[in-house]
Amino acid sequence: MRWRDMRRSENVEDRRGMSMGGAGLKLGGGSLLLIVVLSLLTGTNPLDILGGLVEEAPPPASVDSGPQRKPPTDDPQADFIRAILGDTEDTWSRLFEQGGGTYEPPRLVLFTGAVQSACGQASSAVGPFYCPPDRRVYLDLQFFRELSERFGAPGDFARAYVVSHEIGHHVQNLTGISERVQGQRARMDQAAANALSVRLELQADCYAGVWGYYAARRNILEPGDVEAALAAATAIGDDRLQKQTRGHVVPESFTHRSSAQRVRWFKTGLEGGDVRRCDTFSGRP
């Protein structure tokens, strides 16, 4: 890919090298509720109970307190992510504009090891993911090494495809498709709900292809790029997804779409660049 001259996005948050914090103290909503109930029962100030807990555990480092160690500024991988994200912003801004809407770009968080999102705590093992409530894509760059070493899908465009797929989920969030699917899933049995999630995933693949179409038109692709991305679509199959985390809202964790389906929908987007053709919800997925 010829990405060096592309505009860089300002929406990358570099949280690499930051501690997740709170190793000894994890308070979810449930625990806080318990503390409030406890304090009501015992007549204690809830903060005292919290204080007692905090004394037993090391103070948690806030994930919002800024990097503890400055990430390298000349990191080509992060630079590449900024370029791709910037390009997806330009493409989707134009497409939304054509449809009479406004594209609100997501933020992309780079992390190492584990990260806290509005969808819960996630480890790198889940792979890249998008969290609709906080409108962020989460990515551990280690995944790209795995992509090339374990899945045999090296190359810039394969990586760009991964980013672009997550951006596809953001588009689904903006257009309200994610929410609609979420609502429908709640009224379905497990099998039907999974089938619907598969369709959601395939649409994100198609949207990734739509971005690829415009990238190709701007002449930033080089010979072999499309093949590399298709290899990535093929490679990130179910064996990867089986490994995914439990208990977090990560769409990839409960879907099992075949490589053939992924490739077909990615190609559908890539060949026409037509968002309307990305209707993965009617007909055969």
| Residues near Zn ion (CB under 5 A) | 201, 204, 252
Task: Put the strands of the sheet holding 136-139 in their side by side order.
Answer: 12-14, 107-110, 136-139, 129-131
Q: In the complex, what is the shortest distance from the CB of residue 255 to Zn ion, in angstroms, rounded to a whole number? A: 8
The amino acid present at 248, given as its one-letter code, is H
DSSP for residue 123: E
In this complex, which beta carbon is closest to Zn ion, that of residue 51 or of residue 133? Answer: 133
- Nearer to Zn ion by Cβ, of 137 and 228: the residue is 137
Min dist. Cβ of residue 164 to Zn ion (A): 11
Tokens at residue 144, please?
């790209």
Q: How far is the CB of 71 from Zn ion (least distance, A)?
A: 26
CB of 105 to Zn ion, least distance (A): 18
Decide if 84 contacts 3 (C-beta within 8 A).
yes
Our CB check for Zn ion shows the closer of 6 and 111 to be 111
Nearer to Zn ion (CB atom), residue 9 or residue 244: 244
Query: Which CA distances in Å does 137 have to 43, 142, 218?
Result: 43, 15, 25
Q: Which is nearer to Zn ion, 204 or 228 (CB)?
A: 204
Q: Extract the tokens encoding 221.
A: 């692709």
| Residue 122 dihedral angles phi and psi, to the nearest 5° | -135, 145
Q: 61 by DSSP, 3-state: which?
A: coil
Burial bucket for residue 129 (CB in 10 Å: 0-12, 13-18, 19+):
buried
Which DSSP letter does residue 136 get? E
**Alpha helix segments (H runs only) across the chain:** 29-42, 46-56, 76-98, 142-149, 156-175, 177-186, 190-217, 225-235, 238-242, 259-272
Identify which of residues 162 and 220 has a Cβ nearer to Zn ion in the complex. 162
Q: 126 or 226: whose CB is closer to Zn ion?
A: 126
Cβ 270 to Zn ion shortest distance, Å: 17
Measured in degrees and rounded to the nearest 5, phi and psi for residue 234 equal -70, -40
Nearer to Zn ion, 81 or 202 (CB): 202
Q: How far is the CB of 162 from Zn ion (least distance, A)?
A: 10
105 vs 169: CA distance, rounded Å: 12
**Smallest gap from residue 46 Cβ to Zn ion (A):** 39
For residues 189 and 66, what is the distance between their CA atoms, to the nearest angstrom? 43
Shortest spacing between CB 67 and Zn ion, in angstroms:
27
